[in-house]
Amino acid sequence: MIDPISVFLLLLSASTPILFAALGELVVERAGVLNLGVEGMMIAGALAGFAAAYASGNPFLGFLVAALAGATISMLFALLTQVFLANQVASGLALTLFGLGLAAMFGKPFEGVRAPPMPMGPLRINWIVWLGLAMVPAIWWFLNRSRAGLILRGVGENHDAAHALGYGVRATRAAAVAFGGAMAGIGGAFISIATVLQWTEGMTAGAGWIALAIVVFSRWTAPGVLAGAWLFGGVTVLQLRLQAAGVDVPVQLLSMAPYLATILVLVLISARQKFSRHAGGAAPGSLGINFHALR
């Protein structure tokens, strides 16, 4: 009936924006920072990337600019939380509000025009989709095998200990936030440059919030993020695909399922850690807590 390969191909591109944003947020959270401003950074990337691609005619330059824009706007969050020690949850929400407004304000001149076509990569799959897939092992390697990744995780698990060992907690976190912003920017630009080929206000339509859920589902691992992006993207693609084939599906109930699955995963990993002292897969120890060195 339904060809699984066609569903998988749809899934690959459908999950790309949330994959990028969630991979970025993964690194941010592993450094102990909870940035709820993903949606704001995505929309900033969507606009800046589209504008650059449109002006230059080169979609890849668009993605580069999108990464820069996402990283730049994320520095507002880094400034608030790392320098001014403001609450991370409130600052992230403010960043989302600010990013959505800013993009809408500067987006006026780019309405109604079209982005240049995106050249296809191998297997007629977009280059950026390939890049997203390549980022999964790269980030896994960075977090688990590289020295910088080790420091980053140390900062996220226990910032006091990391500080005592002489590592720069705030600089590490600011760098992680910037990386998260860049990745969210690319994710947002994928929607404007590769999916819609136009700029429209509010076009990310909540993808940033889904990315936050995926990071939890992933148990804070890069392969887990890929699985989560495919689960969340897959439920949407599959239900649309079933509908197209004329199958009656309970859309609202089905769309709740990934979130319930995420809660279940979270409970299972928390329980395993609580009852068996079997560490791994739990939230970073210092997640969401600001660091201030007394000396």
Residues 135-164 touching another protein, rule: CB under 8 A, are none
Q: Specify the residue, 123 or 253, whose C-beta has the smaller distance to another protein.
A: 253
Q: Specify the residue, 143 or 207, whose C-beta has the smaller distance to another protein.
A: 207
Q: Please choose, from the candidates 264, 260, 256, 218, the residue with its C-alpha nearest in 3D space to the C-alpha of residue 239.
A: 256
Encoding tokens for residue 198? 């136009």
Whether residue 49 contacts residue 189, with contact meaning beta carbons closer than 8 Å, is answered with: yes
Q: Does 278 bind another protein (CB under 8 A)?
A: no
Q: Specify the residue, 2 or 148, whose C-beta has the smaller distance to another protein.
A: 2
What part of residues 231-260 is at the interface with another protein (CB under 8 A)?
236-237, 240-241, 243-246, 248, 250-253, 255-256, 259-260
Total residues at interface with another protein (CB under 8 A): 82
Q: Specify the residue, 87 or 146, whose C-beta has the smaller distance to another protein.
A: 87
In sequence order, what DSSP letters do the residues of 19-86 get, joined into one string? HHHHHHHHHHHHTT---TTHHHHHHHHHHHHHHHHHHHS-HHHHHHHHHHHHHHHHHHHHIIIIIS--
Q: Specify the residue, 136 or 193, whose C-beta has the smaller distance to another protein.
A: 193
Distance, in Å, from the CA atom of 77 to the CA atom of 283, rounded to the nearest integer, reads: 21
In sequence order, what DSSP letters do the residues of 25-38 get, joined into one string? HHHHHHTT---TTH
Angstrom CA distances, 247 to 2, 9, 240, 256, stand at 11, 20, 10, 19
Report the Cα 84 to chain-centroid distance in Å: 24
What part of residues 85-104 is at the interface with another protein (CB under 8 A)?
85-87, 89-91, 93-95, 97-102, 104
- Applying CB under 8 A, the span of 130-138, 165-173, 203-211, 223-231 interacting with another protein comes to 203-211
Q: Does 198 bind another protein (CB under 8 A)?
A: yes
What part of residues 32-91 is at the interface with another protein (CB under 8 A)?
34, 36, 76, 79-80, 84-87, 89-91
Residue from 55, 57, 58, 114 in contact with another protein (CB under 8 A): 114
Q: Does 195 bind another protein (CB under 8 A)?
A: yes
Q: Does 212 bind another protein (CB under 8 A)?
A: yes
Whether residue 66 contacts residue 209, with contact meaning beta carbons closer than 8 Å, is answered with: no
Q: Specify the residue, 47 or 142, whose C-beta has the smaller distance to another protein.
A: 47
Helix pair 222-244, 16-30: axis angle to 10 deg: 150
